[in-house]
Structures are given as C-alpha cells and as structure tokens.
Structure 1
C-alpha cells in the first residue's frame, strides 16, 4: 500500500492517491488530472476509483474527466444529487481497492452531503482517514457555504449542529493512531483556524483541536459560527460545477481565445491585468483591475470577478499567460475569458504616484481606504474607511471623494488590486500606499 499527497499551495488544497496491488484510488482530485495519471503510470497502477468527499466550493474537481479517461468509478454521498455517472456509498459501505478497503463514513457539518473515507489496510486495521472539509488539522470545516448552493441546501446553524455530532459521534470514536489526511491546510477559506501541518492523527486532534474540547452543543455551535472568513463569489458556482462535472481541462484551455495586444477591447467588459504592479502602474488599459499573478491569484480572481462576468485576461508574456489561464481554470473561470493576450509594453493610462512624504506630513489631506478584513486589527489611520477588498466593487459609492484617495492593505497585494478598481470608478485621484504601509504599522516589541 502506498499513499501520496498532492498539494496545491495556491488553493491550500490536498488530494490523495492510494495504490494497492496495481489499483489506484483518488480522493478529492484537483482540476488537472495529469499528475494523478502520471503517478498511476509510474506506479504501474490503474485508476479504478475516485472518492469525492463533497461538492467542493473552492476548486473544480477532475472526477468526471478521470471517469472518462481512466474508466474510474466515482463514489459519492447519495445526498449530493450528482448529475454525472456515479455510485452512491451509504454510511458504512465499503469498496475494495487491491488489498485495502475504503469505508464511507457519513460526516455532515461542512456540507449536508459530506462523507469521510476510512482506509483499512491489508491487515484489516484502520490506517488513515481522508476527512475532506469535515476535519482539518486544528480546525473543522465552516458550516455556512450551503445556504444557497448545491442540490441539497442547509442553514449554517443546522450544519453547525451536524458538525458537533460528527465530531462527537464519528471522529471521537476512531482510534488515536489513525492518520488524518484533510483536503485543506492553512490559507484555505474553507475553515478559520487551520494548521500549516498537512496531516495529523486522530489522537492529536482529540488533544489539540478546539472542536474536540467543547462539550456543550450550543457552545460548540456558537464557537463554530463566529469569525468565519468571507465567502468568495466563485464558491457557490464551483459547488454546482462539481455537482454536474467539469469539462476536460486541456480541451477547455484550448477553447480560450487569444488575441494580439493591439486588437481593440470591447467596452463594458472587465479587464483583469495580471502583470506585476510596477508594470501595471506604468501604463494599463483604462478601467483594468490589477490582480497580480501570485500565490493567491485564483482566490482573488474569484473574489473580485463574479462567475457570470466575462473578462479579458492580460499577462506580461506567453508563459505567464498560460499560467494564469490554468489558474483560472482551477476555479472554473476559464470559460468566461473573452480573450487572453500578452501586453509587454505600457498602455495609455498610468497610475498616479503617491508623494509619500506629503502623505506622512498631511494625512488629513487624503481619504484613506483600508482593504483589510475586519479581523485584521484596528485602523492604522484615524480617517480610514474599512472596506474589505472582496466587498469593494459593491461599496464604491460609500467612499468620500472630496479628497484624493489612498488605498492600503497589510502588505501591498490587495492594495494594488483595490487601487486599480477605484481608479476606474472614482472621480478623484487614487493612490496605492503599497508596501509603504509598513512605515505606519506598529512594530511588535
């Protein structure tokens, strides 16, 4: 028996392959099937099964493509209401993979249609549990994503109660030495307090995970519902894509139209410029959003741009363009790319450059917009308006424009995006404080 974890840092997503006697099973695969197909080939194994813990909100799965290409059976919770070929596994039912067994455990809480998969080794001993978004290292899955998405919907409080019972009646009953393999780690928006560790044990979680320490149901529900992170626009969309099954990745990428940089752009269509902010500020298309290609590009693309909005995608060279198209595809956003193009030269509209010394000496002469989330501490400037980046487009009218606007976040990535959004929306000068925000951040002793 062999277990391999595949980890996507950008989405903090973990998926798994289990190999036994020439047979391979996958758990929660990402959009690109190639790493799994390559690994199975390397191991001289056939992919015979894909186990989905639930219809994921934060990435698009390749389960349907793996079914088509490899002939893998897709196993799911029956409450999912999937519209692709599948086999339902009820609570406690098992599937043989080579010499190992995978048993489905019903674990609602993050979603109403969530299953966990217990791996039983060749000696008939429970070895590992693939917990999806139910149990993380140090946390449990948020219960507020299925109030308006998926075939089966549920209110957050109802799901929080289900999570309490999942923790106390499913996970607490497992042996301490069972390895925990979750679908996400630190940085994912599917929970609020995840460890950077990519695996754990049931015993460690019983000792250290806050969710195992609370004995009273009402207290647990209150704690789980508090301080959950924001929900990106693309989350409900991806739930539905995963319920119905995504189109093959390479076919979908080839369908993205590419144009030369000098072809006129259609008015009224969003422009997502992924170039470094220094290049963007030298010159860009009027109204373009600067969502830089970086570790969290997918999350911010899906938080700023809505699933129903077509957009132009711009990069500084062909290699970067290929990369951002693939990143967009990870969340199912390749289909609304109107065209993709390389822009290596500055365009017509430069961004205004802040006179930092003047701002330091006369901060009251500016309207400051703080793009950090409410959980990120108090305002750094007395006159600041706090509008988290994911809410900015919907709240532009709240911003006072009788003064020039200075935009900041915690480090410079979000402020590049936010200032670019406001440039095209406000009738006043807009400046990006960028990394200079650190000059105003209190230093820890």
Structure 2
C-alpha cells in the first residue's frame, strides 16, 4: 500500500524562540470521530478551522499536523504579510488580476490585525512596508508593470535610486527600488503558533500526527499512525504536499526555498551602516534574486535558492549548500560586514501552479482545499481559508466572488515529465534573473 508522503526538513527553523520549541498539543492516540478534520496547521488550515468553529459552536473539529504549527512551512517563511499583488519570478500573473488580489490580501491583513489585537499576540508585528528592488539596469519591464498597476489602483509608492536605497538598506547592490507602505513584517513562527494556540474550544489540535491515507465514503476515515478519525468532511491545508491524499490529479507542485539568518550585529558592526530601522526587501525575480530583511534585533535574513521538493523532503546536504550560497551572496551585498556570521539556515516549502491561479474549493464529495499560494501565503492563505469555510457551509461572503475570479490552476503532468518541466522552468528563471545576484 502506498502511503502519503510526510514533509521533512533536516534543519531547524531560525525564527523559533525558546518558548516555541516545546510541543503544545498531543499526538492522536486511539480512534475518534469529528464533524470536520482539517489537515495542516498553517495559515489556511488555522483560518479555516477558526471560521468553521465560529460559525457553529456545536461542530466538533479536529486539526492535525504532521509536525506542529511552529515547524510548518507557514512558520518557516520570510515573515512578509503582503497587502498588494506582485510578480513571482518573471511571471506577472497576479498583477493581471490586481484588483481581486488586493481586496483579498487586504482583508487577510484585516483579519490578522483583529486577531493580534484581540488575543494580545506578540509576533514582532511591524507595519513598515517593503522595498521591491532590482539589480539589473537593463531589465525595466517588471518594475514598470508593477508601477503601472500601482498607478491603476491609486496605491502610494516611492521610486528610489541607488544612493537613496543605500540610506535605507545599507547597500549599493541595488540600482532601483519601489517602496510600498502596504506590507507588514512579523516573526512568522510566533504568529502561526499563537494563532494555533488560540483556536475556539470546539477545535481539538493534534501535533506529530501525519495522515497516511484517507479512505473515502459517506463517513471518511483519516488514517494516522496511532489512530483513525471518522469524519463527514475534510479540508486539506497541505498545499502541494501529500498529493496522495487528494482525490484528483494534482495541479500544484512543491518547491523548497532556503533562508539564513545572521548573528545580531554588535554596535561596531552597526556603525558601518547608515542608521537603519527594520525593513524588508523582495527581488524583482523571486526565483533567482534574494529576499532580505533587517530585523528589530539587528540581524539580517537572506532567502535565496529555490529547488523542487515534490515529496517535501530536504536533506542536511541541501541545507549546507544553501548556507554556503547565502554566505557568498551576503558578502557580495554587504562587503563591509565580512565578519558577521550566519547562525542558522532552514528550508520551507511553497506551492506553485503553472498559471499563478490558486487551488481552491471542493476537490470531491465533502473534501475541500485551499492551496497554490505561489510563494505569498500569509495574508493570501488566511483569507483563502476563511472564505473556504464560508463556501463549504453555504454562507455568503462578498469576497467569494473575488476568490473565484482568480481562476483555476492548470493541469500539471505527472513525474517524470513534471520533474523535467520544473527543472527547465527553474533554469529559465535563473537565466532571466542571472544579474540579480
């Protein structure tokens, strides 16, 4: 019998603080039943479970995760909560549906803002905007399309040239950047862990409980290593992982991204930089370029390098190679900080689709999903999970139409054709963005 793959990162999440290392929830042991089972405690799964529970306090909801919220891909991202659509690699698919994306992303931010305030969540939340930067002076198309869409939406922005960027970022590596105020920076591990910890009372959470298979039927059976859950309805919040659990052909692929974080800069090292507050930067080519952050505690985060991870597993050797790459790139961007070491490197998976559209809605009888985040998941997956709960319960919401306007993800071929196609796509993006690193 073929069981579902289980995500595995042979590295430790660099965002984790000591109080998040302990397991907050038990492993499922024994058989049980529920009205709903939600698989995955990332932003989509937690948002979906909360919305279900708030709609009907009599529903018995079980949320299970192969690891925990603190070790999920949601906790391993770069901590950008994006309020505006942007390009992924050389694709500008999101920009072509900018109005729908904007309304969804900003509602996701509104929901998170409310929860932060209501629950008193500490996650280093900073409403500081972000920089979208370019190295190559000969490739203006993506930034031009970006500013054209910002103009169309009447969104404020500021164009910054090299010297102005240096005063903000402490590097002359970038030749041009667009600053937009509609973005928030957080510690993503602190945020998603806190959201999982404050779910309504009719949601029961089990950690370290991977789903091995789902046996369909009017009452489905969700099989885990130490117990089975009988349930009428299921929501898969696994993005492209555990493809074996979905009753349809996959339309999304799992990719791994890698991030490293430095030791905090000491006062002498900080004097080599302009006076800076914390900031976040996304590159014009997210596949080839580097995402950067300067944190509240004077550390640099660098995320660069994307590779296929169709089974969700990343080895220690892959992590080591990413560390070496990040060290070289950090020294290239900040040559004045050659004595600042990287202290941790980790990986996380994103889900990509061929046409940039999400995988959202009913997959079959009584099974639903919200996936295909395409690398911009915090606000997007928060609202996607909320709207999916409304949709599944037949509740009206004005943004369900906006969600459906994003379209449907295109078909993806099976392996080995998919493997070859992904390798070719990554090679193309790295070539197009070769001057961005």
Q: Identify whether the pair has TM-score above 0.5, normalized to the shorter chain.
A: no
TM bucket, shorter chain: under 0.3
Larger radius of gyration: 1
Q: Structure 1-normalised TM-score?
A: 0.24
